[in-house]
Structure 1
Amino acid sequence: MMDSIDINVDHCNVSNNATYITLSWIVVGQFALGLPLNLSVLYIFIFRFKFWKNKSIFLFNIVVADFLLVACLPAKAYHYQRGQRRSPNYIMCKTMLFMVFLNRGASIAFLVMLSIDRYFNVVHLGRRNFVKVLKRSPLISVVIWLFLLPLTIPTMLNTFECCNSYGRVNNTFSQNVTDTSREVVFFAEILLPFIILVFCTVRIVHRLRRKTVGDKSKLRRASYVVTSVVVLFSVCFLPSTIARAVLLAMRVVRPEVENVAAQVYDSLMVLSYIDCLLDPLVYCFCHSGFKDAYVTTFCPVFLQKRLLKLEFSSGIGTTTTTNSSGARTFSLQMLDK
């Protein structure tokens, strides 16, 4: 029978400095690339694209969440450089956990809303779309942010980042409840949105393949864009989720390999931060109006014509038309939704 784990043992000190120094430089690289990218995207959304007039409130909130998460990365790199899995300062530790999980949760929540909206626009065109009604008001964005606040409470604990939870000596009932609620929030935040994204993507792609009106190449590109959302989500979030499940199991059944499992988990969590770099590329730059505004603002003149010409010749959208019999065919300007 495995011995229980002493609650007083500090599981936040790293067991392999080389691993965490490497991770710290990866985080620095993510920050160096993510900060200017997200700042430039926010600038376009606010001053050039005017997201509130272009029905892009969900996209804007995704970028805001990504930007706030990028802002936390220097602190993460600093602690990894010092051989710490998290800040030893109580307030700093709580603040980091709050920022990371609030903004990561917000990014995922608005992504799900965006996917549901596209699902109704393609699969159930013409029916009442409650998401379309909701996204017209900025209040829905405020409600989503407020709803996420209480979900961060279980994760704002030192024990989360260091996984000093299950397997402790003389666990109390309150400790077991806290541990369980924290893990339920963490896994539900990833697995439930993943199920919704897969469902919406499969239905959208199936509907596109059955569509007989429109440019086949454009419809095929639209399918690739929709599928890329699920691929991005899977690459960024699923590995760290699986690694945490393994880490929790190892703490109880094979504590001697916990240090290795912790390094794998932390490495895959760092991988999940790359979502802040990929979100603008997958969501924003596939939106033709946003892409035009970005290119004309930041790209040199000699590149502008080439990029805009390329978009015109290989756009992924189709247009709504009415045929001679009066039947309406739907449009799929996929990321303009």
Structure 2
Amino acid sequence: MPMCQVNVTSGVESNCTRCPSIDDFRNQVYSTAYSLITVLGLFGNGFALVVLIRTYRQGSPFHVFMLNLAVSDLLCVLTLPLRVLYYVRQGQWDHGDFLCRISSYTLYVNLYCSIYFMAAMSITRFLAIVFPVQNLRLVTENRARLVCAGIWLFICLSSSPFLMSGQHFDPCTNKTKCFEPPQCQNMKKIMVLNYFSLVIGFALPFVVILLCYVGIVRALMSRTHTARRQRDTGIKAIRMIVIVLLTFLISFMPYHIQRTIHLNFKARSDTPCSEVVAMQKSVVVTLSLAAANSCFDPLLYFFSGEGFRNRLSSLRRSVTGNTLRSTARLKPIVAPVPGENHQMAS
């Protein structure tokens, strides 16, 4: 989503200020948070992606959305080690302008792709439970692929302003900076872009998700006697509701609310240093939480994904079967000793 980063994502002023620096706090929090997110995100999403790809023949529209969400998360966490190095080196960027732009861009593409893929998954689950007959005709794998392609295209294009800001030299610290672009002068334009991002990138899909969940809960509560398969679908839906809402409440909502408050806050000129420092620290915390959405998504696959655990079991059986067949082929054939089975021959 287009938005100038003007310290909204870094929480650190690019120019020399009269207020105390939060560089130590920022470097410690970001390096620790991004390191944990990298490890957990790589393991969780990498494992999920392997299972989803190896069991692709058991495809479904929900499976298509899960696969794209896992790819989005992996692309994001693969760039996080560059951020870790940057903050470990106390804000010194040594990896070139191109990687600076891509690292910033990828984080926000993942953020908004995750939101939209979750909305698509919620709509899919809503149709499956509330309109099961129409769902068979309306929701297909090919249409799910088209929706995913549309999401990727829309998010990648609307996030393109993040490619406009690369590395720059900061005369105050004599360091090459990244993720901390020079201050933009047109505050009005920044505010417009922020509200576009807030409404289209966050509020609209969140409202759609909430409406889907209201419909799902009402449909489940109205069913008194249901078949086992319907009960299993309902349980998966409830799990998805819990995980997605927690992800929004922990990762997405604090970041978007704080970012909007911060931009309005920056428009003031007579702000005491205590408020400036508190606001900058809150930026660091909320951006770390936003990046952590990559760690919540594997929970979504495992606890609410259509047959994900069944896919995992079938993959394990397939691997075990292949191993046993390979062992059988490699096992040497021992010729029988004459007279050894004389009892059976008699």
Paired amino acid for 2:202: I
Identify which of 62, 72, 77 aligns with 1:70: 77
> In the alignment, which residue of structure 1 is the partner of 2:285?
267
Q: Is the 8 A contact 1:112 1:196 kept in 2?
A: yes
Partners of 2:116 and 2:267 lie apart in 1 by: 32
> In the alignment, which residue of structure 1 is the partner of 2:214?
202
Shift of 1:197: 1.0
Partners of 1:234 and 1:184 lie apart in 2 by: 20
- CA distances 1:56-93 after superposition (whole Å, capped 9, x unpaired): 11110011101111112111222222333988954333
> In the alignment, which residue of structure 1 is the partner of 2:276?
258
> In the alignment, which residue of structure 2 is the partner of 1:239?
254
> In the alignment, which residue of structure 2 is the partner of 1:224?
238
Report the CA distance shift for 1:249/1:150 in structure 2 as closer, same or farther (over 3 A). same
The answer to whether structure 1 residue 184 and structure 2 residue 199 are counterparts is: no
Q: Is the 8 A contact 2:255 2:290 kept in 1?
A: yes
Shift of 1:290: 1.9
Report the CA distance shift for 1:237/1:63 in structure 2 as closer, same or farther (over 3 A). same
Q: Is the 8 A contact 1:27 1:77 kept in 2?
A: yes
Q: What secondary structure, in the 3-state scheme, does the structure 2 residue paired with 1:126 have? A: helix
Q: Name stretches of at least 5 consecutive residues in structure 1 with no aligned partner.
A: 1-6, 302-337
> In the alignment, which residue of structure 2 is the partner of 1:276?
294
Shift of 1:250: 1.9
Calculate the aligned-residue CA RMSD, in Å.
Answer: 3.6
Shift of 1:232: 2.0
Shift of 1:295: 4.7
Which TM-score applies when normalising by structure 1? 0.72
The answer to whether structure 1 residue 154 and structure 2 residue 161 are counterparts is: yes
> In the alignment, which residue of structure 2 is the partner of 1:21?
28
Which structure's relative contact order is higher, taking Cα pairs within 8 Å and 6+ residues apart? 2
Q: What secondary structure, in the 3-state scheme, does the structure 2 residue paired with 1:154 have? A: helix
Report the CA distance shift for 1:186/1:288 in structure 2 as closer, same or farther (over 3 A). closer
Q: Is the 8 A contact 1:69 1:99 kept in 2?
A: yes
Which TM-score applies when normalising by structure 2? 0.70
Paired amino acid for 1:42: L
Partners of 1:221 and 1:137 lie apart in 2 by: 23
Q: Is the 8 A contact 1:20 1:81 kept in 2?
A: yes
Shift of 1:31: 0.8
- CA distances 1:212-271 after superposition (whole Å, capped 9, x unpaired): 122697577345314212222221110111111221122122373333212211211111
Paired amino acid for 1:224: I
Partners of 2:183 and 2:193 lie apart in 1 by: 12
> In the alignment, which residue of structure 2 is the partner of 1:143?
150
Deviates more, 1:268-277 or 1:223-232: 223-232
Deviates more, 1:131-140 or 1:258-267: 131-140
Partners of 2:124 and 2:60 lie apart in 1 by: 15
Q: Is the 8 A contact 1:208 1:219 kept in 2?
A: no
Shift of 1:165: 5.6
Report the CA distance shift for 1:240/1:286 in structure 2 as closer, same or farther (over 3 A). same
Larger Rg: 2
Aligned pairs for 1:290-309 within 5 A: 290-295=308-313, 297=315
Paired amino acid for 2:104: L
Aligned pairs for 1:102-181 within 5 A: 102-127=109-134, 132-133=139-140, 135-136=142-143, 138-158=145-165, 162=180, 168=185, 171=186, 176-177=188-189, 180-181=192-193
Q: Name stretches of at least 5 consecutive residues in structure 2 with no aligned partner.
A: 1-12, 167-177, 320-346
Q: Indicate the percent of aligned positions where both proteins have the same amino acid.
A: 21
Q: Is the 8 A contact 1:123 1:207 kept in 2?
A: yes
The alignment covers a number of residue pairs equal to 287
Q: What secondary structure, in the 3-state scheme, does the structure 1 residue paired with 2:304 have? A: coil
